[in-house]
Amino acid sequence: MSGANISSMTPGFFVLNGVPGLETAHIWISLPFCFMYIIAVAGNCGLTYLIGHEEALHHPMYYFLALLSFTDVTLCTTTVSNMLCIFWFNLKEIDLSGCLAQMFFVHMLTGMESGVLMLMVLRG
């Protein structure tokens, strides 16, 4: 049997292409994502600040909303920051550990968001 088993080799990095064929329009494609990201971060951080500093909002349901807001900010930051790096700076490579870390945070935060929503329904 000649040759190495290719399926057992893990790649050192992955190449993320963005939108193939539209490399010249990557700036224009990224602008709506950037604006939506800024609005999402500003709104969720404002909501978290308001719940933390207003005494009338110190009830369990509002704490769940603050936790949900924090989860949304971190989930957006996990995905959109890498996407904007691809579009703006042409950083198309991600190594295996970075890919695994991003996958971990995306799945963990999605599960956390579902758990917080479930707790909000049960608390009701």
Residue 80 pLDDT: 93
Burial class (CB in 10 A: 0-12, 13-18, 19+), 58: exposed
In a domain, 63, yes or no: yes
In a domain, 12, yes or no: no
Looking at the whole model, is its pTM more than 0.85?
no
Residue 17 pLDDT: 82
In a domain, 19, yes or no: no
Domains in the chain: how many in total? 1
Determine the residue type at 91: L
Residue 86 pLDDT: 87
In the predicted model, residues of the chain with pLDDT beneath 50 are none
Burial class (CB in 10 A: 0-12, 13-18, 19+), 71: buried
Structural domain harbouring 111: 26-123
Residue 24 pLDDT: 87
